[in-house]
Amino acid sequence: MRSNDNLSRIFIALFFVVFILLRFWNLTGSCLWFDELFSVHAAEQSWRNIFSFVAQDLIHPPLFYVLLKLWISVGGENLYFLRIFPALFAIVSLIPFSYLCRQLKFEFPSFVLALAFFTFNGALIKYSQEVRMYSLLLCLSLFSIWLFVRFLDLGKNIWILTIINFLLVYTHYFGWLVVITEILAILYFQRIKIRQILTMFGIVLAAYIPWILMIFRSANINADLGQNIGWIERPNLFVLVKSVLNFLEPFYFQQSNVEPISNFLFSIPLLIVLFTGIAFYFAGWKDQSETDKRNFLFLLIFTKIPAWIVFIASWILPFSFWGTRHLIILFAPTAILLSLMLNKVELKPLKYLIFSVLAIIFAGAFLFQIQRPKPQFIWCAWEKLAENIDKDQARKIYVFEDLVAYHFWFAFRDTDKILVVRVKDVPEMIEDKAYFLPRGFDQVETADANVFNENRFYVAFRDMKWNEFHPPLNILKEKGYKIGTPKEIDVNGLKAFLVEVSK
């Protein structure tokens, strides 16, 4: 950044404040959902068991869960305190983001625009508030890319880069995509430094071998990876368009299938503005400085190579790995790349128009978002329904989905008087196959539809409406049970029910 006057510093400081406020905006607006429950569940394991417990899940390394365990030991499991944890990593990511732009010698307008894309992105706001590893992945990937640019330019601090990359790959497997991209980038820009980068790679890989061995031991016991990611769509045209919208869209993010994939009122104008600016940027490519061309190619490598690797792997391997939250490593380089191109549009009136329209789009998207009704999610219904059950009175709760079983177990995990039983394979029952109980977890019993034999118990299920001719109510009535008055919660036209039955 070339502008160092006080006004510029104040403007950037205000932007940082806005960034922070947005990460705390509506922080506890919804309950912990299934994956967040797993995070807390893993963090509650003893130090002896936490690594093997996480390894059985197969799809995530242990660093985030270890850090979350330490965080909980300080302040407990209050929802607000839990959500602060990922938000802090998102806020810290401002440091490497800013230094990366400085290392790339960005002008003040380019930095501000990059910061705007980074600050207002709806997916980044969402994942900065989720008790999962994605904000940590974002933060460490930015540190890694910034330190790699420093090494590329100055030949310094390769040992710090090695440490960061060690932490990165122990946060998420997609961290390896950043490391691989750094190897390919050094081959393109400065092959003379390849030995140092390969040494870094070798050290990180060697330090990763204990985790690889633990994963293989767990996979030999429970190797059905399809449970974890079998639901992920392969990156077809629709999925790719949705991903592009997620990379660009301000404030909005689709959090459930009942919501639209985009706020098209703002995303369509945004795409038009961006495509116009990009077209004029390439029209003036010959006039760009060598530094700007080098920065463009560098950022292009860090946005395209990981995406291509995941795209190809998702089509040739048995399962797809394509997902917005996994590709969070691409968000910051994409924001910086877009700002570079838009700021280098040579036609001044057009550039000013682009910046003005973007400001209007960002402001409009924010106003629209704060007026949207608070989203409701079916998984939060189970937590609320659980409040109707006396923890001190021994009861069984029969449920028909792993999602429901896990939420009820989590609500009653501090008492041994409530037993959750997962009833399997009941015909015509609604069931979301994307969720499954953690491997190695035996605190929820499983049974078939013939299990009902107590005089009094609860059943929890969801349906479009209360209908005693639908399962499980019809099954219970056939067995001579009386159906009590249900507690119900309506979420987007789907109802969650909790009812006590007796003989």
Q: What are the tens digits of pLDDT across the range 124-166?
A: 999 999 999 999 999 999 999 999 999 999 998 999 999 999 9
| Residue 28 burial (10 A CB sphere; 0-12, 13-18, 19+) | middle
What is the C-alpha to C-alpha distance for residues 114 and 120, in angstroms, rounded to an integer?
A: 10
What is the C-alpha to C-alpha distance for residues 298 and 377, in angstroms, rounded to an integer?
A: 41
Q: What is the pLDDT of residue 440?
A: 84
Closest by Cα among 310, 358, 356, 360 to 335: 358
Q: Dihedrals φ, ψ of 41, to 5°?
A: -55, -45
Q: What is the pLDDT of residue 3?
A: 47
**pTM above the 0.85 mark?**
yes
According to DSSP, the β-strands at 456-463 and 494-502 are antiparallel
Under DSSP, the state recorded for 285 is G
What is the C-alpha to C-alpha distance for residues 440 and 414, in angstroms, rounded to an integer?
A: 19
The answer to whether 86 touches 471, Cβ cutoff 8 Å, is no
Write out 181-233 in H/E/C secondary structure.
HHHHHHHHHCHHHHHHHHHHHHHHHHHHHHHHHHHHHHHHHCCCCHHHHCCCC
Q: What is the pLDDT of residue 221?
A: 56
What is the C-alpha to C-alpha distance for residues 234 and 381, in angstroms, rounded to an integer?
A: 31
Instruction: Give the CA radius of gyration of the chain.
Output: 25
Closest by Cα among 22, 243, 278, 9 to 128: 22
Return the domain boundaries, the chain: 6-371, 378-502
Q: What is the pLDDT of residue 1?
A: 47
Whether the link from the prior residue into 472 is cis, omega within 30° of 0, is: yes
Residue written as token pair 């940590």: 136
In one-letter notation, the amino acid at residue 480 is: G
What is the C-alpha to C-alpha distance for residues 153 and 159, in angstroms, rounded to an integer?
A: 15
The parts of the chain modelled with pLDDT lower than 50 are: 1-3
Q: Residues 112-122: pLDDT tens digits?
A: 999 999 999 99
* DSSP secondary structure, 329-357, as one string: GGHHHHHHHHHHHHHT-S-HHHHHHHHHH
